[in-house]
Amino acid sequence: MSVLARDLCADPALLSIAAAQEQAAVLVAGPVEDELVPLRELAGRVSSESVATPTPLPPFDHSAMDGYALAGLGRSHVVRARLAAGAEETPTLVPGEAARILTGAPMPAGAIAVVMQERVRREGDRITLEADVEAGANIRRRGEDVAAGEVIVPAAVRLDARHIAILAAAGVTQARVRRRVRIGVLSTGDELARPGEPLTPGRIHDANRPMLMAILNRPSHEIVDLGVAPDEPAALRRLLLDAAARCDAIVTSGATSVGDEDHLAAAVFAGGGRLELARVALKPGKPVVAGTLRGAVLIGLPGNPFAALVAHVLVGRVALERLAGLAPKPLRPLPASAGFSQKGPGGRTEFAPAALRGVDERGLMVVEKLGRGGSARLAPLIAADGLAVIPAGRADIRIGDPIGFLPFEAAAEL
Ligand SMILES: Nc1nc2c(c(=O)[nH]1)N[C@H]1C(S)=C(S)[C@@H](COP(=O)(O)OP(=O)(O)OC[C@H]3O[C@@H](n4cnc5c(N)ncnc54)[C@H](O)[C@@H]3O)O[C@H]1N2
Ligand code: MOO
């Protein structure tokens, strides 16, 4: 059910985070189209289909050690050949024979084990083992990593160095990935000066647009800088409509709340758009809204920078990841121990900049909150290692109580 203009005026119940994430996902009709991209440009892109390996990995039986390939398990062998990695021809050994073999070299026919060179004595063309070896020792078998035809990269994942390595090993030179999602980033507010612009009375520098562009600056995205919109409904509507025609998604900050100059929802409605969610039980980040405008996904983050960050991580991210073709991946806060106490219960799930302060006697990370909850404050984030997570409805918290911790790498991929 869509959000109506009147819902934003009254003080409606807050949506749970889970409900907001569900709404954020379903407002996106589906991922953007896909395209074929060469291996060297795949890092950071999102796979649109699974990839199977055409060859087994490894492709042939080979030695895992520098040593001797043995045709029997006896202690004494005659060395008949030498095999290095890349050897094209291999001899056939008979019992009693061995081949000098280097790591990665193909196993000769008839060989049943490899002994490391440190475990043998060599005199001329004869080797003597210091101890028995087991059949199969130090041989890497064809297909023991993956068999031919097996899936090596699933669909709907962000490709990183691990995927690039296995695709390269399998001889795959290109893959189908989602095209880059065009995301427009807009700040709103008459008080905002551009980075570097001298401040006149009452003005502050725009921090959100550079922050959001930095978070969203990924190989799977193409960022469009939409600048700053004034607190003027018609101008905001024009800017949004122009952006909707050029972008798959628009991420704004500010103008989401109930103040006289908070014109985002009105501009979206006047432009023929819809909002599917508004006001979430998030602290900070409550006034987040999301919907669609002329086919573009619209995410309206709150103006306070930390609130914008939290609302992006918890709500906006879900919609943008679906658009980019990623499978849903819930954030999972790590178990941690409170290094602070506070009164409960809160009606909203709280996210606070937090620093790690060692490990308690149970082995849990001890987390200290920084910044006393100011959603406009940025300095605590600089000193933090991640975000403390305190679920809505939690009773008083005492030192040592279990809480959640989201490291920044997992939260915002900052
Ligand atoms: N009567 C109420 N007032 C407010 C409520 C409420 O429920 N009732 N919610 C508060 C909460 S919580 C938040 S968060 C803010 C969100 O407000 P908006 O999204 O409408 O944002 P603005 O009013 O435009 O700005 C809020 C604050 O953030 C500064 N700001 C805005 N954009 C930027 C930017 N790009 N870079 C840096 N700072 C920015 C702006 O100057 C304001 O100080 O509303 C509360 N009010
Ligand atoms: O949600 Mo506001 O974001 O508490 O500061």
Output the CA 303–ligand 1 centroid distance in Å.
4
Determine the distance separating the centroid of ligand 1 and the alpha carbon of 304, expressed in angstroms: 5
What is the whole-number distance in angstroms between the Cα of residue 304 and the centre of ligand 2? 7
pLDDT tens-place values along the chain, 414 residues long: 577 665 555 556 899 999 999 999 999 999 999 999 999 999 999 999 999 999 999 999 999 999 999 999 999 999 999 999 999 999 999 999 999 999 999 999 999 999 999 999 999 999 999 999 999 999 999 999 999 999 999 999 999 999 999 999 999 999 999 999 999 999 999 999 988 899 999 999 999 999 999 999 999 999 999 999 999 999 999 999 999 999 999 999 999 988 888 899 999 999 999 999 999 999 999 999 999 999 999 999 999 999 999 999 999 999 999 999 999 988 999 999 999 999 999 999 999 999 999 999 999 999 999 988 789 999 999 999 999 999 999 999 999 999 999 999 887 664
Q: What local confidence, expressed as pLDDT, does residue 319 receive?
A: 98
Whether 8 and 299 have beta carbons less than 8 Å apart is answered as: no
Domain ranges of the chain: 5-32+179-323, 38-56+145-178, 62-140, 334-411
CB distance 285 to ligand 2 below 6 Å: yes
Q: Contacts by 396-400 with C-beta closer than 8 Å and gap 24+?
A: 396/341, 396/342, 396/343, 396/344, 397/338, 397/340, 397/341, 397/342, 397/344, 398/338, 398/341, 399/338, 399/339, 399/340, 399/341, 400/337, 400/338, 400/360
Q: Which of 3, 39, 51 is nearest to 24 (CA)?
A: 3
Q: Which strands form 113-116's sheet, in the order they lie side by side?
A: 113-116, 67-70, 97-101, 76-83, 126-129, 120-123
One of 3.20.20.70, 1.10.510.10, 2.70.98.60, 2.40.340.10 is the CATH number of 334-411, namely 2.40.340.10
**φ, ψ for residue 375, nearest 5 deg:** -80, -5
d(CA 287, CA 256): 6
**Which of these CATH numbers, 3.90.105.10, 3.30.300.30, 3.40.50.20, 3.30.710.10, describes 38-56+145-178?**
3.90.105.10
Specify the pLDDT at position 412. Answer: 65
What pLDDT was estimated at residue 414? 47
Q: Is the shortest distance between the CB of 279 and ligand 1 below 6 Å?
A: no
Q: How far is Cα of residue 231 from the mean position of the Cα atoms in its chain?
A: 34
- Ligand 2: centre distance to CA 61 (Å): 60
Tell whether the torsion through CA atoms of 389, 391, 396 and 398 is positive or negative.
negative
Regarding the beta carbon of 348 and ligand 2, being less than 6 Å apart is answered no
Check if 252 has its Cβ closer than 6 Å to any atom of ligand 1: no
Query: In this structure, which residue's CA is closest to atom 2 in ligand 2?
Result: 284
Compute the residue count for the chain. 414
Q: Class of 62-140 per CATH? A: mainly beta
Fold match between domain 5-32+179-323 and domain 334-411: no
Ligand nearest to the CA of 281: 2
The residue to mutate among 15, 286, 387, having the most atoms of ligand 2 within 8 angstroms of its beta carbon, is 286
The Å distance, Cα 117 to ligand 2 centre, comes to: 66
How far apart are the C-alpha atoms of 394 and 347, rounded to whole Å? 9
Thinking of the domain 5-32+179-323, which architecture would CATH place it in? 3-Layer(aba) Sandwich (3.40)
CA angle 177, 178, 182 (to 5 degrees): 145
Pocket test for ligand 2, best of 11, 208, 304 (most atoms within 8 A of CB): 304
What is the rounded distance in angstroms from the CA atom of residue 121 to the CA atom of residue 83? 19
Which residue's CA is the closest to the ligand 1 atom numbered 33?
303
* Nearest atom, ligand 1, residue 283 CA: 12
Ligand 2 nearest-atom number relative to CA 306:
3
What confidence score (pLDDT) does residue 413 get? 65
Measured in angstroms, how far is the CA atom of residue 177 from the centroid of ligand 2? 36
Rounded Cα gap, residues 6 and 9, in angstroms: 5
Q: Is 304 in the pocket of ligand 2 (CB under 6 A)?
A: yes
* Residue 409 contacts residue 385 (beta carbons within 8 Å): no
pLDDT of residue 6: 55
Check if 314 has its Cβ closer than 6 Å to any atom of ligand 2: no
Ligand minimally distant from the alpha carbon of residue 188 = 1
